[in-house]
Chains A and B, each alone.
Chain A
Amino acid sequence: MKKLLLNSYLLFFFRIALGFLFIYAGAEKISDPAGFSLSISNYKLLPIYMINFFAISMPWIEIVAGILLVFGIAVKENAFILNTMLIVFIFAISISLARGLSIDCGCFGKGNQIGIQKLIENSLMFFAGVLLIMFDSKILALKNNHSE
């Protein structure tokens, strides 16, 4: 029982942390759309006509999903969305590292170079996300759409 309690608080912590991290990341990107667009293009993974679509929509998905996570609304769904993004980020960073690119990550606005550290950060967030998808977190949730 105690273990379960601890576990649910841990999940709550993950939920809040993941939520705020993505709110912050999204806000940083929204404050400098041109910079973020440039960051994406530096990865040289996307065709040029698609870059700005991602640059425009992605930060908002991050923010909305982050806010919903913090409020505990549709936790599994939002964790799933963020994890999908994290997979994309992890792949993008890995490929770029393998190609020997020395570029700005674009993770939290300017000032983060891609590297192993980013991979670890992203993997940790991904891990937290997986736990949330699997076990949900209902503490201090505003509303839950699909409680059993």
Chain B
Amino acid sequence: MFVLNFFNMSANYKNIIAIIIVSSTIGFIYNSLNPKGIPLIKEKRILIFEEEQSEITDSDLTDTPVTERNEIEEQIIAPSEGNIIKEEIPNAVREFTKPVAIRLSRAYQLYNQGVIFIDSRSKEEYADGHIKGAINIPFYESEKYEDVLNKIDKNEIIVTYCSGEDCDTSILHGDELFEKGYKRVYIFHGGWDDWLETGYPVESKL
């Protein structure tokens, strides 16, 4: 351990290795026992783009009568902790098992339908300019925006976006909203950059 010798230190590298090995072992054991444990090899978070999901179309979503939709939702959400037969679930929510990624053209289409856009970027970025009518819920402080979020009905179609293709907050936010029970979450992959470049309606204030 020349680094330690360099500082004229007497640290024992065997102890260092022992501490690391012991703690890692605890970690792996804990993880295998933890119900929230994660697999040893990570599965990739793959963005599923809408066009890649052949059987899902927008009409499937929007044309379903609201009442019917609500019933389906309740069936899925309410007894999720009970002993329901698991096979029923995939049929009922055959669309949106995960937030769906979309690109600019689709985003604009949804925009014209009056769908709610959520801006996951920071307050400052939002103030500088955002998609017209978008609601700002910065992902990094989303806890503070609970009341804003609560005004949105869980059955609403939501589009999340952030600065562009390289940012991930829209994806994380989409996942978070999805977990909270919003079942129609789109992630606008191109985000603010694409939107601005195309010259679609924007506004800057607040």
Q: A: which residues have CB within 8 A of B?
A: 30, 32-34, 37-38, 41-42, 48-49, 51-53, 55-61, 63-65, 68, 74, 76-78, 80-81, 100-104, 111-113, 130, 133-134, 145-146, 148
Contact = CB atoms under 8 A, between A and B. Distances in A.
Given A56-B28, A60-B26, A103-B168, A77 B39 contact: no
Nearest to A50: B42
Given A38-B172, A134-B9, A146-B12, A64 B26 contact: yes
Interface string B110-143: 0000000000011000000000000000011101
Contacts of B36: 32-34
Contact of B19 (A37, A78, A102): A78
A145 to B, nearest CB: 7
A78 to B, nearest CB: 7
A42 B166 CA distance: 10
Given A49-B42, A102-B121, A103-B168, 12 more contacts: A53-B40, A56-B40, A58-B27, A60-B24, A60-B27, A64-B26, A65-B19, A65-B23, A74-B15, A76-B9, A102-B166, A145-B15
Contacts of A42: 168
B40 A111 contact: no
Interface string B10-27: 111101100110111011
Contacts of B28: 56-57
A56 B11 contact: no
Nearest to A78: B19
Contact of A51 (B16, B42, B168): B42
Nearest to A67: B23
A120 to B, nearest CB: 18
Given A57-B27, A76-B11, A134-B9, A33 B37 contact: yes
Size band of the interface chain B makes with A? 35 or more
Contacts of A32: 36
A64 B39 contact: no
Contacts of B30: 30, 60
23 contacts: A33-B37, A41-B42, A41-B45, A48-B44, A55-B38, A55-B42, A56-B27, A57-B24, A61-B20, A61-B23, A61-B27, A74-B19, A81-B16, A100-B166, A103-B168, A103-B169, A104-B140, A130-B7, A133-B7, A134-B7, A145-B12, A146-B10, A146-B12
Contacts of A48: 41-42, 44
Contacts of B19: 61, 64-65, 68, 74, 77-78, 81
B80 to A, nearest CB: 18
Interface in B52-99: none
Contacts of B26: 60, 64
- The 8 lowest CB-CB distance pairs between A and B, nearest first, are A60-B27, A57-B24, A76-B11, A64-B23, A61-B23, A57-B27, A60-B23, A77-B15
